[in-house]
Amino acid sequence: MNLRLKFWFQNGITLIELMITLSIAIITVTLAAPGFTDFIQQIRLSGAANALQNAILLTRTEAIRRNDIVDLIAVNDNWENGWMISGADNAPVLTHEKLHTEFKVNGVLTDGLQHIAYNGTGRTVTRSNGNATQFGHIELMLGKHSRIIQINFLGRSRICNPSMEKSC
């Protein structure tokens, strides 16, 4: 017994069927595009916030490892221009490139400067006074979304989403 299976595509399709299929596809893509753009912005924002958070953690780790002050400095006093980690010898440990032009970053730290310094005990210090603790937050914004990196009195940092957390 010889069985043959026939598939719908073996007979071909008409021009009207093709046009209807393409129309449905175009309508679906048109409706999904704004949500997709919003999704891409959230991914970019999370990536940038995670990169800065990782730089803060690396700065703290390097300070403890070296038992010395290590700085995380915003390039040209603006986090949007990128950042650099350097030790007391001013040798760069890590640099991060400039953020995309759509990003807005606002840092509010104790001493008003756009840098974070850790000492050998893993605590933040201000550059003007090595005994004063530095704390505050850095807010990254992209479109209608934002993430805040909070640095507490002990020098610990965390990322929060103000649209989802009231304590942020």
Q: Which residue has the higher pLDDT, 165 or 124?
A: 124
Average pLDDT over residues 83-93: 87
7 domain residue, yes or no: no
Give the separation between CA 140 and CA 2, rounded to whole angstroms.
67
116 domain residue, yes or no: yes
53 domain residue, yes or no: yes
Averaged pLDDT score across all residues of the chain: 87
CATH of the domain at 78: 3.55.40.10
Q: What percent of the chain has pLDDT over 70?
A: 93
Q: What is the pLDDT of residue 9?
A: 52
* Full residue range of the structural domain in which residue 60 is found: 13-160
Give the separation between CA 143 and CA 78, rounded to whole angstroms.
19
Residue 65, SS3? helix
Instruction: Give the pLDDT band of residue 26 (cuts 50, 70, 90).
Output: confident
167 domain residue, yes or no: no
8 domain residue, yes or no: no
pTM, 2 dp: 0.78
5 domain residue, yes or no: no
Segment 129-161, tens digit of pLDDT: 777 899 999 999 998 999 999 999 889 999 999
C-alpha 11: how far from its chain's center?
52
- For the chain, how many structural domains are there in total? 1
> Distance of CA 22 to CAs 11, 15, 19, 25, 36, Å?
19, 11, 5, 5, 20
Q: What is the pLDDT of residue 5?
A: 47
**Owner of token pair 């400039």:** 98
Contact 109, 61 (CB under 8 A): no
70 domain residue, yes or no: yes
